[in-house]
Amino acid sequence: MTISHLEKEILQQPTVIRNFLARQSTNIATISDQVRSKYKFVVIAARGTSDNAARYAQYLFGAHNRLQVALATPSLFTFYNTHPDLSDALVIGISQSGRSPDIISVIEAGRKCGSITLAITNDPASPLALSSDFIIPLGTGVEKAVAATKTYSTSLAAMAMFSSMLSGEKSYLKHMELLPQAMEDTIEFAGRDLERVQRYRYINRCSVLGRGFNYATAFEIALKIKELTGVIAESYSSADFRHGPIATVSRGSPVIVVAPSGKLKQDISSLIHKLSTSGAELIVISDSSELLGYAKVRFQTPKGIPEWLTPIPYVIPGQLFALQLTREMGLPLDQPAGLTKITETY
């Protein structure tokens, strides 16, 4: 059987991250030294998958760097032409292609306000990169599948390393060295239960839950499912889910839960128990055998990964779930209907 570009790129992620950490350490350290203490808050402009990476940055920079992070509203910069004052901000643009005009407009406005600007992109010669003061190139190689995978995980790694360098906490960088092996182990473990995904081949909707650092993971997994299969996958914070959407769950409803060990484990555990008693079909991504025990499909992850880094390996089972579900539905993996690789919005 011919392997798809999508599967190849999912499986490439441990190597891509290993190479990124080795190649970009000096560059990111230099950027960190030059920008440290020169701004009061962070504004991030992104769309699609990159917007999910920005959600991760909100928790990361808030927890490790005590920084308030806002997600930009690009339409204010383009259609309304009346954007917020970005003075005293570090303005970050995240875009795989670096070509979307609305993201570039936020960076350009930041520079006019005297802000420091940073591009995180897979194309260091792109308009976004050329408009920015500093660049962190992802260096993933060409991503041929329309659904982004390796550029997403590398965007997370870029922000994790940047945050770690800014903090000056050396233990954070030591923890990042664990990532490639953790990702390899996650891929190996995920293969054990993938065949059980066939039970969902006729679904038309599902919910994806995460919280804290993995709020972003819930959004990214849901996006992959929507992009590849057309299934209506709704992403929620596990806290927000309790405030109404839980009423949509009935017996047999598929619910994907991202549940690492850490500060939120008990909170998510209580929700998993409640969903189990209601008859939901639970798909659980976790390092906890207790929580995996509630699941119809279990995606085990390695133990010992600090919670703040779990979004990088934990997105992989979600990517593989979406890939396998697409196969079971007989749909194209590399060219989902209605999508193109580069999307330019204004």
Q: DSSP secondary structure string, 41-85?
A: EEEEE--THHHHHHHHHHHHHHHHH---EEE--HHHHTTS--PPP
Q: Would you place residue 344 in the very low, low, confident or very high pLDDT band (cuts 50, 70, 90)?
A: confident
What separation in angstroms does the CA of 72 have from each of 30, 42, 102, 212?
26, 10, 10, 20
DSSP class of 235? E
Beta-strand pair 281-286/254-258: parallel
The answer to whether domain 5-177 and domain 181-328 are alike in fold is yes
CATH number for the region 181-328 comes to 3.40.50.10490
pLDDT in tens, 279-335: 999 999 999 999 999 999 999 999 999 999 999 999 999 999 999 999 999 999 998
What pLDDT digit, counting tens, does each position of 304-320 carry? 999 999 999 999 999 99
Q: Which residue has the tokens 């806290």?
A: 239
The fold of the 5-177 domain, in CATH, is Rossmann fold (3.40.50)
d(CA 70, CA 227): 26
Q: pLDDT by residue (tens digit) across 214-240?
A: 999 999 999 999 999 999 999 999 999
pLDDT (average), residues 59-79 = 96
CB 258, CB 214: distance < 8 Å: yes
8 A C-beta contact, residue 46 and residue 93:
yes
- Does the pTM of the predicted model rise above 0.85? yes
Q: What is the pLDDT of residues 132-153, one digit of tens each?
A: 999 999 999 999 999 999 999 9
Task: Look at residue 1 and tell me whether its pLDDT is greater than 70.
Answer: no
Nearest-angstrom CA–CA distance, 186 and 291: 16
Structural domain spans, the chain? 5-177, 181-328
- The answer, yes or no, to whether residue 343 has pLDDT greater than 80, is no
